[in-house]
């Protein structure tokens, strides 16, 4: 087995005037999971399509399982399983028939394909629906069936393009478990996702793409460490437009203000003594603080910092370690669209 199972080397791809990839390179060591992260339109699917022989790059090279994707696409196809964003199932066949067909098309004998299909239907909790036609399946059931199809031939390299999009939380956890089992058994996996907690939970390394370029590469921990170390969030008792200006010198960075001006947040280098200093400064400026929270960075913070995307109010949850120094005021949990407030 090759040491590096997936290699993208300087991939370029344009669709008309749209540049989908502008020199993307990354590699995935055997038996590891790479999370390819990026906002909508970043180029993730295009990279996966090239690596899985479904699209040709304008320039650059790619190898999968040591095989040149451009020179020997058929050889690559024998080594990979792919669950694309658009499910490739036949709605008029049952779930079981779909899986058996995929197995047969991949060269499996019918008996083996049937046995493997039954195992996978069980694994993805579709056994009860196995003999119903797929057009009657929910979106989540189709997604799970599509994932099952990608595993049919037990390929050594798997590409899962946003595998849990559209799944309910229980199904999502189930898919995570299956992915963990797979990687424990030595499969090499490239996973695209927009869910940062998913990349955090499953990926050994993360490559962040934006506008067709790699903008960061590292383990989840390394990426968090590269970002500023903490985050402060203040909820005011009433909106005060001048509050961002009061806080800015203390946090030494950009202060975001929610639309209705009640919540302010900023990345900070050091959290020690910060809550006290912020509350004191606002108090001295005659502003009442309902709540202040200082927390360690989540992968969300890293992602938003890297991609320049605006943070949103409901990104506060995952993995946040909070130290609260306030009264837990109203509105602290409300989802708000944040807008840039002030630059230090």
User: Of 45 and 227, which CB lies nearer to ligand ATP in the complex structure?
Assistant: 45
Residues 46-75, interacting with ligand ATP (CB under 6 A):
46
CB 42 to ligand ATP: min, Å: 4
User: Of 102 and 207, which CB lies nearer to ligand ATP in the complex structure?
Assistant: 207
User: Of 17 and 343, which CB lies nearer to ligand ATP in the complex structure?
Assistant: 17
Which string of x and - marks every residue 190-209 that binds ligand ATP (by CB under 6 A)?
A: ----x---------------
Q: Is 45 in the site for ligand ATP (CB under 6 A)?
A: yes
CB 20 to ligand ATP: min, Å: 3
User: Of 38 and 95, which CB lies nearer to ligand ATP in the complex structure?
Assistant: 38
User: Of 142 and 240, which CB lies nearer to ligand ATP in the complex structure?
Assistant: 142
Q: Is 143 in the site for ligand ATP (CB under 6 A)?
A: no
Residues 258-297, interacting with ligand ATP (CB under 6 A):
none
Q: What are the two backbone dihedrals, phi and then psi, of residue 52, each rounded to the nearest 5 degrees? A: -100, 15
Number of residues that bind ligand ATP (CB under 6 A): 12
Residues 4-43, interacting with ligand ATP (CB under 6 A):
15, 18, 20, 38, 40-43
Residue 126 token pair: 């579709």
Residues of this chain that interact with ligand ATP (CB under 6 A) are 15, 18, 20, 38, 40-46, 194
């Amino acid at each position: 087995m090759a040491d590096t199972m997936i290699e993208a080397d300087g991939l370029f791809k344009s669709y008309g005037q749209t540049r989908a990839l502008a020199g993307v390179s990354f590699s995935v060591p055997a038996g590891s999971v790479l999370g390819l992260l990026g906002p909508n339109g970043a180029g993730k699917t295009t990279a996966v399509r090239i690596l899985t022989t479904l699209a040709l790059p304008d320039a650059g090279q790619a190898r999968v399982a040591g095989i040149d994707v451009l020179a020997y696409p058929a050889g690559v196809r024998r080594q990979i399983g792919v669950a694309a964003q658009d499910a490739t199932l036949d709605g008029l066949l049952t779930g079981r028939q779909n899986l058996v067909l995929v197995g047969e098309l991949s060269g499996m004998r019918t008996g083996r394909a049937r046995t493997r299909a039954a195992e996978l239907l069980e694994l993805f909790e579709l056994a009860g629906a196995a003999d119903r036609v797929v057009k009657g399946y929910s979106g989540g059931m189709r997604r799970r069936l599509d994932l099952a199809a990608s595993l049919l031939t037990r390929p050594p390299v798997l590409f899962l393009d946003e595998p849990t999009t559209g799944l309910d939380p229980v199904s999502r956890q189930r898919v995570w478990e299956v992915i963990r089992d797979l990687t424990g058994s030595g499969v090499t996996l490239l996973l695209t996702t927009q869910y940062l907690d998913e990349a955090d939970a499953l990926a050994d390394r993360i490559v962040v793409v934006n506008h067709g370029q790699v903008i960061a590469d590292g383990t989840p921990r390394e990426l968090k460490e590269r970002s500023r170390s903490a985050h402060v969030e203040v909820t005011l008792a009433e909106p005060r437009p001048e509050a961002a200006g009061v806080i800015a010198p203390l946090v030494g960075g950009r202060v975001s203000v929610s639309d209705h001006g009640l919540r302010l947040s900023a990345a900070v280098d050091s959290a020690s003594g910060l809550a006290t200093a912020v509350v004191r400064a606002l108090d001295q400026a005659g502003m009442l603080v309902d709540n202040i929270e200082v927390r360690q960075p989540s992968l969300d913070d890293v992602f938003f910092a890297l991609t320049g995307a605006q943070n949103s109010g409901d990104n506060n949850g995952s993995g946040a370690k909070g130290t609260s120094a306030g009264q837990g005021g109203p509105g602290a949990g409300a989802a708000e669209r944040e807008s840039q407030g002030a630059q230090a």
